[in-house]
Amino acid sequence: MGLQQQAPALSGQSSLSNKQYLTLAIPLTISTMTTPLLGAVDTAVVGHLPDPAYIGGVAVGSLLFNTLYWVLGFLRVSTSGFTAQAYGARNEKELFYSFIRPLLIAVLFGILFIILQDPIKIIAMQLIQPTARVAEQAMIYVDIRIYGAPFALLNYVILGWLIGSSHVRMSLYLQVGMNVCNIFLNLFFVHGLKFGVAGVATASLIAEIGAALVGIILLYKLNVIKRIPIEWRALWEKTIFMKMLKVNRDLFIRTVCLLVVLTLFTSKGAQMGDTLLAANAILFQIHFMMAYCLDGFANANSILVGRSVGERSESLYRQTLKQSFKWGFLIAVATSLIVLVSSPLIWPIFTSIVEVQALLSQYLLWVVLFPVVAAWGLQLYGVFSGATEVAPVRNSLIISMIVFLVSIYFLIPSYQNHGLWISFLLFTLARTLVLSAYLPSLSRGLFRSV
């Protein structure tokens, strides 16, 4: 099944060099960066249409799908963690099952989202409460893109398996290909055919379907699909299956907490007017690009920690923590400085509306501070996910969500949108501090039986 392909030679080594770490982390960073780039391109394309309601419509529609997909985001994270452990243990059969188990869950939920699309839309609009113009555009977006749900979730599983089994370049090519396809289709449908928001949704739908089909072909070529017959008792073996359910349950709770925060953030911004909603949508796209840049290094941590658990190598685990702290800090500072310096060049790319550009500059500081506050917490998320010890991740989001709820209650009445952004930064800081408090316990217990 290609167990030796694309894996850095780490087994049995007492150290993890900068080159080895970056060889894994940089392709993963490029790969993960294409995800927020998709949303950024969607926002930028409609940002040059004459009405800010178009940006708001795409923002609300994208939030709905981010909610649906992030609730199932454990499919990628847990798939990557369990696959990395099976890979480290050289267990070929379990490597196969680590793909099949989440695949079945992905297809099931994708179909359910299509069947339940009407109540999903009603609930979303009641929670976010956009203006009528924004809601109209959002529904156009949702009505088209909802049919890509099974394919989008299948992509989560495919990417998780490729990353966990160290087929990093393949995951990079697949994700970059999907997003490049989306960019060109966006420009063609929106500016070429003048489809507006419907064009943005259609481009995303085609890109998601295409990526899933290409991903299946890649896995077939790697013998993941055709080589090992399914033994249903082994597939649902009680101990492994219960651990998978426990990990996925905790990641599900973590994601729900995150989405409560993101939904409230968008909803509070929407209540302040379409122009401010548009500005927050653009700033959040920049925030996503910074977060996903850091997330590439978190994915590297997940692979290396998962492999260290499979190989029972405490030295690899310790070196991963050291490399993660160093490079996470450097990347955080670099991304903050890049956005701060280049912001006058960034705003015209996203929108030509003068009022929106003015608001972007007014709230830039909070986005610039985000990487510094978030970096170590995101790196630790990768560490705990790779170890498949995610109860601390769950707890960190529950506590951080409470911090956010308290903060918006006290800060928004006095500071309005500044209060909203400060609350989000406090949420991010709380997540980092709580995970840091759990790290010594993980480090002590992970290799205790070695």
pLDDT in tens, 374-395: 999 999 998 998 888 889 999 9
Phi, psi angles (nearest 5°) of residue 116: -100, 20
Q: Residue 289: enclosing H or E segment and its boundaries?
A: helix 274-311
Tell me, what DSSP letter sits at residue 11?
A: T
In our burial notation (b when 16+ CB lie closer than 10 A, e otherwise), range 409-428 reads: eebbeeeebebbbbbbbbbb
Give the closest residue to 82 by CA, choosing from 100, 67, 108: 100
Within 13 Å of residue 176, how many CA atoms lie on the same side as its CB? 11
Q: Smallest Cα–Cα separation from 146: which of 179, 171, 124? A: 124
When pLDDT is cut at 50, 70 and 90, the band that residue 204 belongs to is confident
Q: What DSSP state is assigned to residue 9?
A: S
- Work out the end-to-end distance of the chain between its first and last CA atoms, rounded to an integer number of angstroms: 28
92 versus 355: the higher-pLDDT residue is 355
Q: Decide if 1 contacts 224 (C-beta within 8 A).
A: yes
How many other C-beta atoms are found inside a 10 Å radius of the C-beta of residue 448? 7
Residue 26 gets the label, from left (phi > 0), alpha (psi -120 to 50) or beta, of: alpha
31 has a pLDDT exceeding 50: yes
pLDDT in tens, 261-281: 988 898 888 888 888 888 888
Question: What is the DSSP track for 108-162?
Answer: HHHHHHHHTHHHHHHHHHHHH---HHHHHHHHHHHHHHGGGHHHHHHHHHHHHHH
* pTM for this entry: 0.74
Q: What is the mean pLDDT of residues 244-263?
A: 82
Predicted confidence (pLDDT) per residue in 125-181, tens digit: 887 777 788 888 888 899 999 999 999 889 888 888 887 787 878 888 888 888 888
